[in-house]
Amino acid sequence: AYVRALLTSKIVVVTQKDDWEDHYRLFESLSCGALILHDSMLAPPKELVNGRSIIFFNSLNELQERALYYLKHDQERLAVARRGWEMAMRRHRSWHRIEELVFGRPLNHVTDIHNLTLSQL
């Protein structure tokens, strides 16, 4: 039910505890293809850019405003969600974490994600 909800959501809100960032739910949500609304991060992953591949918010009012805006602006929502998904597929897969542990950095960077088959994802 959880995965189905992620895969069918237009927007996913991800928040974090104070002074703790970079949790699995962020990448899990990005990989499902929804627009991610996330509370501000001190050090987001390199390719996560506010307004381009993710939307950050600083308050509950801002969260509500941004959610309502992107629900009314499908093309913008889909474009940001797509760039977030592409970033997650290129650089933040489980094997990238294993490569970082073993070799100190990810070795594989998928460049042509548009021609991947489901079995490769």
Q: What is the DSSP string of 22-51?
A: --HHHHHHHTTTPEEEEE--SS--TT--BT
Residue pLDDT, tens place only, 4-31: 888 899 999 998 876 666 667 888 888 8
Q: What is the pLDDT of residue 121?
A: 42
Question: Residue 8 corresponds to which tokens in the numbers above?
Answer: 């069918």
The pLDDT of residue 67 is 98
99: phi then psi, degrees, rounded to nearest 5: -60, -40
> Contact 5/23 with Cβ under 8 angstroms?
no
pTM of the predicted structure, to 2 decimals = 0.75
Is the pLDDT score of 33 beyond 60? Answer: yes
Q: How many H helices and E strands in the chain?
A: 5, 3
Say which residue, 45 or 57, is predicted with more confidence. 57
